Structure 1
Amino acid sequence: MRPDILKGVLGLEADVILRDAKVYGYELTNWGQYKALFDGETGSTVTGCAYLVQSVEEEYKLAY
């Protein structure tokens, strides 16, 4: 997700801090217009970025 979109979804005034991240043992596939994470082969990786959720409220905003 682009940082400006994440900032808007969460309703934040300050810029979000993203860090590089890797998830091991998963792969990406298309699910309609969206990307979906699913179990992959051993050793497979998905690279991207991560945001440290600051509250339960932020978690709910990202989940729905």
Structure 2
Amino acid sequence: LGELLLYRPVSGSFAEYAREFLGPFFGFVTGWTYWLGWVITGITEVTAAAKYMTFWWAIPQWASSL
């Protein structure tokens, strides 16, 4: 990815390289897969924080995710 950035700099993310070199469908799928991965990561982080708070303090698990 670093070599691509030096070879052909673009103002988008790596999904822009997928669109340019593999086609618009792969650029679209790459962008949405990246977004979905971060959404899942955020949900996982909130769940882990709720588990820790439930362990240390006697509060319901759903309360810490508010």
Q: TM-score, normalised by structure 2?
A: 0.21
**As a proportion of its length, which structure holds more helix?**
2
RCO higher in structure (CA 8 A, sep ≥6) = 1
Which structure's CA Rg is the greater one?
2
Higher strand proportion (structure 1 or 2)? 1
